[in-house]
Amino acid sequence: EPEVTQTPSHQVTQMGQEVILRCVPISNHLYFYWYRQILGQKVEFLVSFYNNEISEKSEIFDDQFSVERPDGSNFTLKIRSTKLEDSAMYFCASSEVDIILAYEKLFFGSGTQLSVL
Amino acid sequence: DAKTTQPPSMDCAEGRAANLPCNHSTISGNEYVYWYRQIHSQGPQYIIHGLKNNETNEMASLIITEDRKSSTLILPHATLRDTAVYYCIVSLTSGTYKYIFGTGTRLKVLA
């Protein structure tokens, strides 16, 4: 079964450093997402991306965050200057949207655990 | 905030049916009910979705009440591998499709 792939699985960085989290969505999907989950807390929406632009973003997704689809396969999340509170598991997802029935199924990757020291 | 309410935890004996309830009393007519689960800290996994009618797939069944204000996810023969946090999510059928996750139900399947 096709799957969403995320790299690296763990990333340790110093506060103030830039990090890039990488994702390879499922190949025929058109909608892409980033979510995050701080240890012991809920899964939180960060941003959705379609047709090479952001379609929606949450309050968490401030100017320190950016997303890019640099080529036809990768989808990246960049955090410009990491803070301690950015430590979390970051999940990439892509979706298969049924245009006629208008529902979607999200397929999530296994996540990147980001630790900011 | 999530538009759903779920019990925080449930236990189920291995081999028995697990019935996980969800209350979504403010659901609107164009919102689907989705169920996902998260095993350990892995990415959430899609289970099933429905709009009005009951649904069944190879993983589970979804029973939606006639007024659509609540639903039940049924795992017909729970196994130890079904131990996970189960999330019930309501989401618009059109628009951004972003999901708002609640705290879910932590299901523990007991041997």
pLDDT attached to residue B88 = 96
Q: Is B48 helix (H, G, I), strand (E, B) or coil?
A: strand
Say whether A103 and B93 touch across the interface (CB within 8 A). yes
Give the separation between CA A76 and CA A57, rounded to whole angstroms: 15
pLDDT attached to residue B95 = 53
CB A21 within 8 A of CB A90: yes
Mutate: best of B3, B45, B46, partner A, most A CBs <10 A: B46
CA A31, distance to chain mean position in Å, is: 12
Q: Does residue B77 come out as left (phi exceeding 0), alpha (psi in the -120 to 50 range) or beta?
A: beta
Q: Which of A58, A102, A113 sits opposite B93 (nearest CB)?
A: A102
Task: Judge whether A23 is closer than 8 Å to chain B, CB to CB.
Answer: no
Which residue in the block uniquely carries the two structure tokens 């017909």? B76
pLDDT attached to residue B61 = 98
Task: Judge whether A25 is closer than 8 Å to chain B, CB to CB.
Answer: no
Say whether B41 and A111 touch across the interface (CB within 8 A). yes
φ, ψ (nearest 5 deg) of residue B106: -85, 105
Say whether A43 and B98 touch across the interface (CB within 8 A). no
Q: Is pLDDT above 60 for B94?
A: no
Q: Which of A55, A93, A108 sits opposite B96 (nearest CB)?
A: A55
Tens of pLDDT along chain A (117 residues)?
A: 789 999 999 999 999 999 999 999 999 888 899 999 999 999 999 999 988 899 899 999 999 999 999 887 899 999 999 999 999 999 999 987 766 666 778 899 999 999 999
Q: Which residues of B touch A (CB under 8 A)?
A: 2, 32, 36, 38, 41-46, 49, 51, 87, 93-94, 96-103
pLDDT attached to residue B3 = 84
Q: Which residues of B touch A107 (CB under 8 A)?
A: 46
